[in-house]
Amino acid sequence: MSKLDSWIDNRIAQNLFLWFFLFIIFTMVIQSKNRPLTALLFILFIAPPVYISNLKILPLFFKKKIKLAAFLYFLNIIFFTFLGVLILSDFLKRFDLLILTNAFGAILLILIFGTALKLAKDSFVRRQQEKDAELKLLKAQLNPHFLFNTLNNLYGLSVVKSDKLPNLMLKLSDLLRYSLYETSSVLVPLEKEIKYLENYISLEKIRLEDKTNINFKTSGDLSSFKIAPMLFIVFVENAFKHLGVLNKRKSKVDVKIFEENENIIFSCENTIDLTSEQNHELEKGKSGIGLQNVKKRLALLYADKHQLEILQNKEVYKVNLKLLK
């Protein structure tokens, strides 16, 4: 988090900025010989009822204590209205009914404004927390999904007592280390994600041997980019999971990551066999768990900054993803 973000998230800084903004407005609109002093005194007067309302009374509404909250809300208005009248009328030496109505109206508008700001801020924070919770849930769903498929591969090799198993386990160890300890941030360096994909593809090459042509290429200056962790692995994992064996040639998996006009372009293409029941509809049912989650993550993290295209014909399944600047 940058220093600017820290200041923006700091509640004291938020409040000081708001009151400073109001101080500037009041200094401009208040008619007085000493406008800055009058504006400052006015802010010192209205701050207590606003904080009493926002911090003590509003929570009662959410606790279903509506009658008590409404009573205290209006009591707060009435108390500070009469206090303002006492001050403005020099403690009733020159009382005027107009002063009372103006003070009541002013306090009421100020509290409504303060309440609206408080509710808007709380709503924004709540939606951000819900978004963070959903992102954590989606990330938690992705890791077991990947682990489940990889352990299936390990089990298959252990059954035949393959010599490839130790090397495969080392690759898996590196993959799990990244997924457990390197993905706690919302964004990670793209270079780390590429290394993660390289390890995964190397693992798959050991398993598939000469059965499949596997290519992984990167190009352009990718060192300055950051992306959501484990964003691409879902597509790559899906490509190997649903890899089809063709009659006249080897099956293939082609993965590319490159930079174009400061945008990140990712493509993943694999051959498929539509005669296989699990490949008949790749994005439906259990076979689509990873794809469904990555689409949700893209919608949350790259709302209007991504273009996802999924193409399929009789032999090839292809994913094109562009992350916009």
Region 149-155: what's the mean pLDDT? 74
Cβ(76)–Cβ(57) below 8 Å: yes
d(CA 284, CA 165): 32
User: Which of residues 70 and 149 earns the better pLDDT score?
Assistant: 70
Predicted confidence at residue 91, as pLDDT, reads 53
Predicted confidence at residue 285, as pLDDT, reads 39
d(CA 14, CA 125): 14
Exposed/middle/buried for residue 218 (C-beta within 10 Å: 0-12, 13-18, 19+): middle
Predicted confidence at residue 263, as pLDDT, reads 94
Is pLDDT at 53 greater than 60 in this prediction? yes
d(CA 120, CA 134): 21
Region 72-90: what's the mean pLDDT? 86
d(CA 239, CA 212): 12
d(CA 190, CA 305): 17
Predicted confidence at residue 97, as pLDDT, reads 73
Per DSSP, the three-state class of 53 is helix
Model pTM score: 0.60
Segment 92-109, tens digit of pLDDT: 566 667 777 878 888 899
List the chain domain ranges.
3-125, 163-323
Segment 185-223, tens digit of pLDDT: 788 999 999 999 998 898 788 777 778 899 999 998 898
Q: How far apart are the first and last CA of the chain?
A: 20
Per DSSP, the three-state class of 147 is helix
d(CA 6, CA 303): 24
d(CA 158, CA 152): 10
d(CA 233, CA 220): 20
- Identify residue 306 by its one-letter amino acid code: H
- The rounded mean pLDDT for the chain is 82
Predicted confidence at residue 280, as pLDDT, reads 46
Q: Does CATH number 3.30.565.10 belong to domain 163-323?
A: yes
Residue 287 pLDDT level (bands cut at 50, 70, 90): very low
Is pLDDT at 286 greater than 50 in this prediction? no
Enter the tokens of residue 72: 């205290």
